[in-house]
Structure 1
Amino acid sequence: MDLSTLDFAELLQLKNDVDVEVRRREVEEKAKAKKQILEIAKAYGFSVEDVLGGKVAPTASGRKPVEVKYRHPNDESLTWTGRGRKPLWVVALLDSGIDLDSLRV
């Protein structure tokens, strides 16, 4: 792909598309890794808690995780609690004309 043939708006859209795809794949890769870890622990007769020595991924403050408020309409693995900066996938959907309320869970 020759990026020099794209105009500025097309480059920005491509960048947004790439960022969304990278985040989607990151979620997929983490899920694969988690599945492999669980399978390895199970093969040795251990639970993940046995191997890691306690709860899996506790929060630093010990608080309950915040509930998801928004979900991507086509990829349920992409979620947002509504706190902090908007994820790139939310920004991309808003830029495409989708209303934030339509993404509510």
Structure 2
Amino acid sequence: MSVNIENLSPQELAALIKRANSRRKVLAKRKPAAQTKAAVAKVLKSAGWTFEELYGKAGGGSVAAAAPKKARKAAKGRSTGKVPPKYRNPTNEKDTWTGRGRQPRWVAAEIAKGRKLEEFLIK
């Protein structure tokens, strides 16, 4: 967070200093991260787990990142991996579409002209 202290009034500056000092006191009471991590590792070891088994690579981030993205997506019922294109633009062979997500502009334009989506299927 960046605060421009040049534009603060004396009251706002005093309030900011008070908040900063209280935050410094809270942080000073914390144990060092390495000490806390060692304590957690000790508890996990006594339970038969490793940090990596529960949270992935050590230091890999927060608890929210515990499950890999692929596992989370698969759990939601979504398939992963690349899907081959199903539709091709007849005027530009490089334009393709898998049929997933929002229609590309070329598909929407052709359908607006009265053509059917099935006409663009790749055989």
Task: State the TM bucket, normalised to the shorter chain.
Answer: 0.3 to 0.5
TM-score (norm 1): 0.40
Higher-Rg structure is: 2
TM-score (norm 2): 0.34
